[in-house]
Structure 1
């Protein structure tokens, strides 16, 4: 089982990216979490160039399509998701990459309620399958925890493992339903 982790932050020290990398360390047997790269390389969404399928857009779409499920975490800026996350999602609206794709929406800050609501609205409109037990808020903002510390923190790692197991179960259930 292959999960693609998409962070809405380009910051090297991003809490959301650290959360996703910690989840990669905790992936259960038979599952892997790959970090999505290249969101910052996407051109600004423009319907006039959509048909030309810019290489970074095609690469992102291929990564999403080849993944069994997605882990998405985005910081909140000005009561919404980041520009880079919105741009990436806008590029995917015109294709079916998100249709019925199991998705875990993760939040590194309990204060980021507007971004989470926005993400939920957008991916629901794109026909993604939000896996509720896998969509959790992990209060690491301001904790000072590194990626390594997140992965070994008893309560946090247990919550992350449970989220990953719920995502695995959703993928397995979805596969069985398609047979």
Structure 2
């Protein structure tokens, strides 16, 4: 069986280490895992409940379709001003009304560098809170911190340190194991 994992980056920054981490996840994915990178964060309109009806804005419809077509969602987001970035919170707000993320297995990776004293804990606390409102199936064992630095990023935009790649692989393994039916 092939599992489809939607990779969602919470950063709009070009060359973000969060995006590089998810691109590395895609690079280490085994043959039975199809990764799909969501690239529409910057295209989403500001959330307004009055606009949460058909016909949806095309970017919102594309987001909801991508979530609905996936078996699980893997997030990597930075922390800004003590929480997740506003643009990423906006994305999450758009997921509530559609229900596609309801009970969907979700995990997140934190790549805050070793010098970050809290490791982005505030971002992930706010992320956890919003995901609770979305009633996702949070796969705690796949929610990990894999500290990286920009200087560890290779010219191809990926992380190649064996220890980091093993950790990214372990996240996918944990997430796909969670997706497998109980024996």
The question of a shared fold, defined as TM-score above 0.5 by the shorter chain, is answered with yes
- Rounded to whole Å, the distance in 2 between the matches of 1:39 and 1:139 is 23
Task: Determine whether 1:125 maps to 2:133.
Answer: yes
* Structure 1 alignment gaps of length 5 or more: none
More helix by share: 1
2:29 corresponds to which of 27, 30, 34? 27
1:24-173 mapped onto 2 (5 Å cutoff): 24-51=26-53, 52-109=55-112, 111-140=119-148, 142-146=149-153, 151-173=159-181
TM-score (norm 2): 0.89
TM-score (norm 1): 0.91
Task: List per-residue Cα deviations over 1:79-128 (Å, max 9, x = no partner).
Answer: 01111110011011112111111111111115211001111111122111
Structure 2 match to 1:8: 10
Asked whether the equivalents of residues 26 and 151 of structure 1 are also in contact (C-alpha less than 8 Å), the reply is: no
Runs of 4 or more above 2 Å deviation: 147-152
- Rounded to whole Å, the distance in 1 between the matches of 2:12 and 2:23 is 14
* Structure 2 alignment gaps of length 5 or more: none
SS at match of 2:145: coil
- Could you say if the C-alpha distance between residues 47 and 103 of structure 1 is closer, same or farther in structure 2, counting changes exceeding 3 Å? same
- Rounded to whole Å, the distance in 2 between the matches of 1:88 and 1:167 is 22
C-alpha displacement at 1:150, in angstroms?
5.1
